[in-house]
Amino acid sequence: MQTIDMASTELRELNSTLQAQSKKTDDAEWVIENTRGAHALAVGLDAPIKVTVKGSTGYYCAGMNKQADVHVTGSVGPGVAENMISGSVIVEGDASQYAGATGHGGLLVIKGNASSRCGISMKGIDIVVHGNVGHMSAFMAQSGNLVILGDAGDALGDSLYEARLFVRGKVKSLGADCIEKEMRPEHLEFLADILKRAGADAKPEEFKRYGSARKLYNFNVDHADEY
Amino acid sequence: MCGIVGLFLKKDDLRPRLGDLLTDMLITMTDRGPDSAGIAIYGDAADGLKMTIQSATPDEHFDGLEETLTALLRAPVRMRVIDTHAVLTLPEGSEAEVRAFMAEKGIRVMGVGDSMEIFKEVGLPKDVAARFGIRQMAGSHGIGHTRMATESAVTTLGAHPFSTDENQCLVHNGSLSNHNRMRRELARKGFAPQTENDTEVAACYISSRLAEGANLGEALDGTLQDLDGFFTFVVGTKNGFGVVRDPIACKPAVMAETEDYVAFGSEYRAFAGLPGIETARVWEPEPATVYFWER
């Protein structure tokens, strides 16, 4: 296990060291200390390594992640795990705005609350939030799954495409074109698996599923007068 | 962008370190706002009224000012000059007369109160803090701002905090879109903004609501109905400290609370040096929700 102390390491040095791991896998475990809320920690990784970030971070932690498993022991600022391709990012604390935005794959777990715009424009990522999410979460979400154990804020799933949303708590309001849908066996099966992988203590039967009504996919000529 | 920091002490133990802690918080927010910086600090109550003034030509304006004011008011006036600013201690009831005097001389009044002092200038936060010796200042609470200007020029008067009534000040991250209409409405109520800056309109709005009898929470709640645009506001009053974000809440905000203090920062980085931050309750303030603490 290698330890990098941010009190004596430049951010670029940290990231280039971790990014260089793609070609060798001898150093499979890394610990980053003294983060002090720094931005862009552990970004652009592309190797099957485990990175533990001790403490809280600022903007864009673990952005563009591929293959790596990143574990943050504190809270994260805006844009955690933005555009993730694969691997996993686990946050013990809260996440600020647009957690997991535009993610194509992998698993993002927020053990606290996520604030507004969680999973905005998600494209295949799976996101599990143990607490609540803020307003406009899963806005224009295209595919993937957003699983919320707590409550969702206003306008959940506004202008949604084919992402699936599962909420155990209350939904303050649904966004345009987002509706509740029936929970089928394959959804319960999926939830059972992802809840287990996300270390979440919840039963699949407790969730409701939401998805796109697909009314915004095509222009409706009856609405022509509204423009 | 812009950066905001705030620290409200719940106990007296940290009072001597308030300026030191706030200075580190402010400097950490430099890359959010390198244009100018300012801080309002609520220190010891003066024996009279404190007025913070500022001059572009302090050598000329402040020379002999203490004696001139003492003669004018026929009562002792004390003056502490700190770089381009000076803090005057005036006899109660003399504010209007002194304001008229300052206006005539072209000296700017930054704020008035029995404990509040305001220091703001163009330049990097570390330089601004050093010029005014913020690190050495003690107090119960304070708010600071690092500015990246969008709506008005980079000038001393365009820097935050804005103080538009006794013991009140406000800092802002964002931009308001209905400030011109609000400006006219506030002027009719006797709270005319002195600058072209949109943030000063918000400060005047809160002052007008407090003058009408609202408490700090109600005044902050009113911003959600009456002000349009993007904002995270942090407000200081003699005994209080409040926070509100607009409903869209795209301007970042994070708060921390321990038994000793409540802290506000645009980013968590601002908290990294605070005592006991490792075990503090840290959370993001909800959109369109008013938070305030009063002692």
List Cβ neighbours of B202 (8 Å cut-off, separation of 6 or more). B162, B170, B172, B176, B179, B223, B227, B231, B233
- Please say if B250 is a catalytic residue: no
CA distance A152 to chain B (A): 13
The residue ranking higher by pLDDT, B152 or A115, is A115
Q: How many CB pairs under 8 A join A and B?
A: 46
Q: Provide the pLDDT for residue A193.
A: 98
**Residue A107 and residue A147: Cα distance in Å, rounded?**
11
CA distance B181 to chain A (A): 29
Across chain B, mean pLDDT equals: 95
| Distance set, CA A127 to CA A41, A151, A181, B271 (Å) | 20, 15, 19, 28
B72: closest CA among B95, B50, B104, B97? B97
Residue A218: which pLDDT band, with cuts at 50, 70 and 90? confident
**CB distance B128 to B36 below 8 Å:** yes
Out of B249, B271, B287, closest to residue A37 by CB: B271
What are the tokens at A191? 């939830």
Fold (CATH) for B46-113: Alpha-Beta Plaits (3.30.70)
List Cβ neighbours of B71 (8 Å cut-off, separation of 6 or more). none
pLDDT tens, B190-209?
Answer: 999 999 999 999 999 999 99
Q: Provide the pLDDT for residue A23.
A: 64
Phi-psi region of B217 (alpha: psi -120 to 50; beta: other; left: phi over 0): alpha
Give burial (CB, 10 Å; 0-12/13-18/19+) of A89.
buried
The reply to whether A137 touches chain B by the CB within 8 Å rule is no
The answer to whether the Cβ–Cβ distance between A75 and B268 falls below 8 Å is yes
Q: Provide the pLDDT for residue A24.
A: 65
Q: Provide the pLDDT for residue A25.
A: 67
Domain boundaries, chain B: 3-44+122-294, 46-113
**Residue A16 and residue A22: Cα distance in Å, rounded?**
11
Residue B151: which pLDDT band, with cuts at 50, 70 and 90? confident
Out of A38, A59, A96, closest to residue B284 by CB: A96
pLDDT tens, A110-130?
Answer: 999 999 999 999 999 999 999
Average the pLDDT over B140-144 and give the result: 97
**Residue B3 and residue B160: Cα distance in Å, rounded?**
10
List Cβ neighbours of B216 (8 Å cut-off, separation of 6 or more). B210, B235, B237, B240, B242, B292, B294
What are the tokens at A170? 């209350």
pLDDT tens, B221-278?
Answer: 999 999 999 999 999 999 989 999 999 999 999 999 999 999 999 999 999 999 999 9
**CB distance B51 to B95 below 8 Å:** yes
Q: Which CATH superfamily is domain B3-44+122-294 in?
A: Aminohydrolase, N-terminal nucleophile (Ntn) domain (3.60.20.10)
The answer to whether the Cβ–Cβ distance between A93 and B282 falls below 8 Å is yes
Share of chain A above pLDDT 70, in %: 97
Domains in chain A, CATH or no CATH each: 2-226 (2.160.20.60)
The reply to whether B267 touches chain A by the CB within 8 Å rule is yes
Helix or strand run (H / E) with residue A16: helix A11-19
The answer to whether the Cβ–Cβ distance between A58 and B284 falls below 8 Å is no
pTM above 0.90, yes or no: yes
Q: Which residues in chain A have their CB less than 8 angstroms from residue B286's CB?
A: 134
Report the residue count for chain B: 295
Residue A222: which pLDDT band, with cuts at 50, 70 and 90? confident
Residue located via tokens 């020379």: B63
The answer to whether the Cβ–Cβ distance between B252 and A37 falls below 8 Å is no
Assess whether pLDDT exceeds 70 at residue A81: yes
Q: Reduce the DSSP state of residue A197 to 3 states and report it.
A: helix
Residue A26: which pLDDT band, with cuts at 50, 70 and 90? low
Per DSSP bridges, beta strands B116-122 and B36-42 are antiparallel
